Chains A and B, each alone.
Chain A
Amino acid sequence: MLTAEQNDELTQVEPGTRMGEVLRRYWYPVAFTRELEEFPVKRVELLGEFFALWRSPSGRYGIVPEPCPHRKASMAYGVVEANGLRCPYHGWVFDTDGACTEQPAEKDNTNFQERVRATAGRVEELGGLVWAYVGPAPAPELPRFDTYVMEGFRDIGWADLPCNYVQIMENAVDPHHVEFLHGRYFEFVGRHEGFTAPASFGKEHVRIGFDAFEWGIIKRRVLKGATEENDDWKVGHPLVFPYNMRVGGGGIHQMQIRVPINRTTTRFMLYTVHAPDGYEHVEQPQVPDYEIPVFDDRGRHVTNYVEGQDIMAWVTQGAITDRTTEHLGRSDIGVAMLRRMFREQMDVVERGEDPLGTIREQHDRIDLPCEKDKFHAGGAQFALDFCDMGSTRFSPVLDTIKKIHISAADKIAAERAG
């Protein structure tokens, strides 16, 4: 339970707000790489602001606020040219640094164009996604988390959700929900729809724990029948501050991404890499993306898959959940810890320091701790449950993914037998 003012502060994303200023210190995925290959300019909404994102013919990316500094027409309808983005209205051109390089109707002998910059952000491509940084300079390095650079077969599921991102992040430090939302509730839905829910999701929690670390919070659990020597506790998996969660198991590696589009809209993305032991390289000229269902044709949540259940729980809390009338228990202590972390980082940014998880050193790869034997369910079985019962069932490359896991398991079994 918080006060209304604290809830307001916690859920802000807009520029000039305390939390909005924290959020502007991070990079966000704002497009799929293939989108700008298909059409080189895109209107992007991020943190409650609109931008024009473009890719030049030579492959350079740029991002500027959507309104042209001249007369405020949309640069998202701009003309992509070799040296920048040209406003469709009067032809002013801005380069990837935000400098105005052309004002066709103005005289050449003035310094007018030097006086209007477009406050450009930074853009990079990584792992089939286009990433943008729209905060103050100098931009930190784009974190090259393991999922984006590791060998494996990829796909990206996504949905735009009508709720604030904080309630989604609170779910990432809420281990108990798994045994009910993905256990008991899943069984209930399965009984009525005629399928069997995966048994491993319903295991009872015996102990939960949370530890702050350099990238956020490591979440740990001991499930009934397991001990602190099992991966779920010994390794756990992290909430990656402020908007990601790294999960995995059974040769699957996933970053769950929750981009604050605006205060009441969140782009939920499931960036998944299939790389079981025994994986043999499969060529992927492009990382496929696919939209996962949120509502059915009657407007009811689709809850017969894992992420659909999460989405139902997040969205039905309301566009911004009313934390003044919630009733947290001891089992919600991870939620309290996360709120403290958000609040701490507001102070850090106000002091002019880098918040948690910003990185300024060049690096090749950041490995995040993540359990491999999830729910002590056995690797291959977890992977198949993941394919059949999770969002991967909607992937356009589902058949290939299943073949990858089955052939890898067969290969490992043959090696062990031989």
Chain B
Amino acid sequence: MTVAPGLPGGAREDRRFRPDAEAHRRDAPRFCPRCAAALGLATEFWEAEERRFYCWCSGCGWAGEITPGEGGVRGHEPEH
């Protein structure tokens, strides 16, 4: 492992997952869906096929999850 640009001193980059880090930098939501201010923080986590971002707006205090939809959408079939 090597030291990545921008990582704090003492942190070592795990190069195996550099594409995930780049995807995060590319896709993390930047603006609040309520007030459109810059988001204070968007922590990414994964759930099944989805990438989710737990977001908090430092402007208006809104917090919530944003899930990008890529390629298509899925509904669900009620049991019948």
Q: Which residues of A contact B (CB under 8 A)?
A: 1-8, 11-12, 164, 263-264, 318-322, 324-325, 327-330, 332-333, 335-337, 339-340, 343-344, 347
Contacts and interface: CB of A to CB of B under 8 A. Distances in A.
Nearest to A338: B43
Nearest to A319: B10
Contacts of B45: 1, 327-330, 332-333, 336
Contacts of B44: 1-2, 328
Interface in B1-42: 4-14, 16-18, 20-21, 24-25, 28, 40-41
A73 B25 CA distance: 46
Interface of B: 4-14, 16-18, 20-21, 24-25, 28, 40-41, 43-47, 54, 56, 58, 63
Contacts of A343: 40-41, 56, 58
Given A325-B20, A327-B17, A340-B56, A320 B11 contact: yes
Contacts of B43: 1-2, 328, 335-336, 339-340
Given A322-B13, A329-B47, A263 B8 contact: yes
B60 to A, nearest CB: 12
Kindly name the residue among A324, A328, A337 whose own CB sees the greatest number of chain B CB atoms within 10 A: A324
B54 A4 contact: no
B5 to A, nearest CB: 7
26 contacts: A1-B44, A2-B41, A3-B6, A4-B6, A8-B7, A12-B8, A164-B10, A263-B9, A319-B10, A320-B7, A321-B11, A322-B11, A324-B4, A324-B13, A324-B21, A325-B13, A325-B14, A325-B16, A327-B17, A328-B45, A329-B47, A333-B54, A335-B43, A343-B40, A343-B41, A343-B58
Contacts of A329: 45-47
Given A322-B14, A327-B46, A336-B43, A11 B25 contact: no
Contacts of B13: 322, 324-325
Given A3-B25, A325-B17, A340-B43, 10 more contacts: A1-B43, A2-B43, A12-B8, A320-B11, A328-B44, A332-B45, A337-B54, A340-B40, A340-B41, A344-B40
Most A CB contacts (10 A, CB to CB) among B12, B18, B43 go to B43
B18 A4 contact: no
A318 B3 CA distance: 12
Contacts of A328: 43-46
Contacts of B28: 3
A29 B56 CA distance: 32
B10 A320 contact: yes
Contacts of A322: 4, 7, 11-14
A8 B14 CA distance: 16
B61 to A, nearest CB: 8
Nearest to A324: B21
Contacts of B7: 4, 7-8, 320, 322, 324
Residue of B14, B20, B45, B63 with most partner-chain A CB within 10 A: B45
Contacts of A318: 10-12
Contacts of B11: 7, 11, 318-322
A324 B6 CA distance: 10
A411 to B, nearest CB: 49
A340 B54 contact: yes
